[in-house]
Structure 1
Amino acid sequence: MSESNHNADFYNDNDDYVPYVPIKQRRLEKLHKYAKQRRVVDPTPKEENEEESTAPGTRTNVSLLDQAVENRKNNLIPEKTEEEKRLEEEKRIEEAQARHKALVSVQEAAAGVHYTEPMKTSWQPPRFVREQSEAEHEIVRKKYHIIVEGENPVPPLNNFRDMKFPQPILDYLKEKKIMKPTPIQTQGLPVALSGRDMIGIAFTGSGKTLAFSLPLLMLALEAEVRLPLTRGEGPVGMIICPSRELARQTYENLCQMAECLEKDGFPPLRALLCIGGIDMREQGDVLTRGIHMVVATPGRLMDMLTKKKFNLDICKYLCMDEADRMIDMGFEEDVRNIMSYFKSQRQTLLFSATMPKKIQDFALSALVKPLVVNVGRAGAANLDVIQEVEYVKQEAKMVYLLECLQKTPPPVLVFAENKNDVDDIHEYLLLKGVEAVAIHGGKSQDEREFAIRSFKTFKKDVLVATDVASKGLDFAEIQHVINYDMPKEIEDYVHRIGRTGRSGKTGIATTFINQHCSEQIRLDLKHLLREAKQRVPPFLAAMEDPSEKYGLSGGCTFCGGLGHRINECPKLEQQRRQQMSGIMSGRNAGGGGGNDF
Structure 2
Amino acid sequence: MSIAAGGFTVMEAEDDYVEYVPVAKRRALEAQKILQRKGKSSSLEEDPEKAKLAEAKPSLLVKATQLKRDQPEISPTEQMVQQEKEMIEHLSDRKTLMSVRELAKGITYSEPLLTGWKPPLPIRRMSRKQCDLIRKQWHIIVDGEDILPPIKNFKDMRFPDPILKMLKAKGIVQPTPIQVQGLPVVLAGRDMIGIAFTGSGKTLVFVLPMIMVALQEEMMMPIAHGEGPFGLIVCPSRELARQTYEVIEQFLVPMREAGYPELRALLCIGGVDMRSQVEVVRKGVHIVVATPGRLKDMLAKKKMNLDNCRYLTLDEADRLVDLGFEDDIREVFDHFKAQRQTLLFSATMPTKIQNFARSALVKPITVNVGRAGAANLDVIQEVEYVKQEAKIVYLLECLQKTPPPVLIFCENKADVDDIHEYLLLKGVEAVAIHGGKDQEEREYAISSFKAGKKDVLVATDVASKGLDFPDIQHVINYDMPAEIENYVHRIGRTGRCGKTGIATTFINKNQSETTLLDLKHLLQEAKQRIPPVLAELNDPMEDIEAIASASGVKGCAYCGGLGHRIRDCPKLEHQKSMQIASSRRDYFGSGGYRGEI
- TM-score after normalising by structure 1: 0.89
Alpha-carbon shift at residue 362 of structure 1 (Å): 1.5
Give a deviation string over 1:542-592, Cα, whole Å, max 9, x none: 100111134443111111100001111000000000000011111111773
Q: Tell me what 1:493 maps to.
A: 487
Alignment deviations for residues 82-126 of structure 1 (CA, whole Å, 9 cap, x no partner): 645644543443344342553211111222211110001031111
C-alpha change, 1:265 and 1:519, in structure 2 (3 Å) is same
Q: Which residue of 1 aligns with 2:573?
A: 573
- The equivalences for 1:310-329 within 5 A come to 310-328=304-322
Q: 1:429 aligns with which of 423, 427, 435?
A: 423
Contact map agreement 1:234 1:292 (CA 8 A) in 2: yes
Whichever residue aligns with residue 208 of structure 1, its letter is K
Q: Distance in 1 between matches of 2:515 and 2:213?
A: 43
Match of 2:284?
290
Which deviates further from its counterpart, 89-98 or 288-297? 89-98
Partner of 2:414: 420
| Counterpart amino acid of residue 586 in structure 1 | D
Q: Which of 206, 209, 218 is the equivalent residue of 2:212? A: 218
For the residues of structure 1 that align with 2:365 and 2:155, how far apart are their CA atoms? 23
1:143 aligned onto 2:100:
no
Check the 8 A contact 1:201/1:354 in 2, yes or no: yes
Query: Aligned partners of 1:436 and 1:585: how far apart in 2?
Result: 38
Distance in 2 (CA, whole Å) between partners of 1:284 and 1:558 is 39
Q: Report the 3-state secondary structure (helix = DSSP H, G, I; strand = E; otherwise coil) of the residue aligned with 1:495.
A: helix
Unpaired stretches in structure 2, ≥5 consecutive residues? 1-14, 19-28, 549-553
In the alignment, which of 466, 472, 482 is matched to residue 472 of structure 1?
466
| 2:592 counterpart residue number | 592
The 8 Å contact of residues 440 and 448 in structure 1, kept in 2 or not, is answered as yes
Give the superposition deviation at 1:282.
Answer: 2.4
Q: Distance between the aligned counterparts of 1:478 and 1:409, measured in 2?
A: 9
2:251 equivalent among 257, 262, 271: 257
Deviation at 1:325, TM superposition (A): 1.9
Equivalent pair of 1:299/1:594 in contact (CA under 8 Å): no
The 1:89–1:118 alpha-carbon spacing in structure 2 relative to 1, beyond 3 Å, is closer
C-alpha distance in 2 between matches for 1:437 and 1:585: 35
Q: Which moved more, 1:308-317 or 1:285-294?
A: 285-294
Residues 92 and 355 of structure 2 are in contact (CA less than 8 Å); yes or no, is this contact kept in structure 1?
no
For 1:152-231, list aligned pairs within 5 A. 152-231=146-225
What is the RMSD of the two structures over their aligned residues, measured on CA atoms? 2.9
Cα distance change on mapping 1:106 and 1:389 into 2, 3 Å = same
Equivalent residues in 2 for 1:156-555, closer than 5 Å:
156-328=150-322, 330-551=324-545, 552-553=547-548, 554-555=554-555
Range that drifts further, 562-571 or 107-116: 107-116
| 1:142 Cα deviation from its structure 2 partner | 1.0
Q: For residues 51-66 of structure 1, what are the structure 2 equivalents within 5 Å? A: none
Query: How much has 1:177 moved relative to structure 2?
Result: 0.3
* Structure-1 separation of matches of 2:189 and 2:443: 34
> What is the distance in 2 between the residues matched to 1:585 and 1:44?
63
8 Å Cα contact 2:228/2:281 also seen in 1? no
Structure 1 residues 170-206: Cα deviation after superposition (integer angstroms, max 9, x where no partner)? 1111111000100000111111110000000000100
One-letter code aligned to 1:238: L
1:590–1:470 Cα change, 3 Å: closer
In the other structure, the counterpart of 2:10 is none
Aligned residue in 2 for 1:11: none
Letter in 1 for 2:587: R
The equivalent of 1:106 in structure 2 is 100
Q: Which residue of 1 aligns with 2:12?
A: none
2:515·2:563 contact (CA, 8 Å) conserved in 1? yes
CA contact 1:168–1:260 (8 Å) conserved in 2: yes
Displacement of 1:256 = 1.5
517 and 59 in structure 1: CA distance in 2 versus 1, 3 angstrom threshold? same
Question: What residue in structure 1 maps to residue 21 of structure 2?
Answer: none
Residue 348 of structure 1: SS of its match in structure 2?
strand
Residues of 1 paired with 2:53 and 2:422: CA distance?
Answer: 82
Of all paired residues, the percent bearing the same amino acid is 61
8 Å CA contact 1:106–1:336 kept in 2: the answer is yes
What is the CA deviation profile of residues 274-320 of structure 1, one whole-angstrom value per residue up to 9, with x for unaligned ones? 11111122234412210100000111111110001110000000000
Contact 1:328 1:359 (C-alpha < 8 Å) held by counterparts = no
Which amino acid in 1 is paired with 2:110? T
CA distance in 2, matches of 1:200, 1:520: 28
Deviations 1:199-224 (A, max 9, x none): 00000100000111111111111111
Following superposition, the deviation at residue 511 of structure 1 comes to 0.3
What displacement does 1:399 show? 0.8
Per-residue Cα deviation, 1:412-461 (whole angstroms, up to 9, x for no partner): 00001100000000000000000000000000000000000000000000
Shift of 1:334: 1.7
Alpha carbons of structure 1 residues 422 and 51: separation in structure 2 relative to 1, 3 Å: farther
Q: Runs of 5+ in structure 1 lacking a partner?
A: 1-18, 23-31
Q: Deviations over 1:229-249 (max 9, x none)?
A: 111100001000000000000
Deviation at 1:409, TM superposition (A): 0.5
Whether the aligned pair in 2 keeps the contact of 1:82 and 1:550 (CA below 8 Å) is no
1:367-395 Cα distance to aligned partner (Å, 9 max, x none): 00010000000000000000000000101
Give the count of matched residue pairs: 562
Q: Alpha-carbon deviations, 1:238-278, whole Å to 9, x = none?
A: 00000000000001111111111001111111111111111
Change in 2 beyond 3 A, CA 1:38/1:520: farther
Give a deviation string over 1:31-69, Cα, whole Å, max 9, x none. x99x979974464339888878899xx98598899x79x
Report the alpha carbon displacement of residue 137 of structure 1 after superposing the two structures with TM. 1.3
Q: Give the Cα–Cα distance (whole angstroms) in 1 for the partners of residues 180 and 79 of structure 2.
A: 45
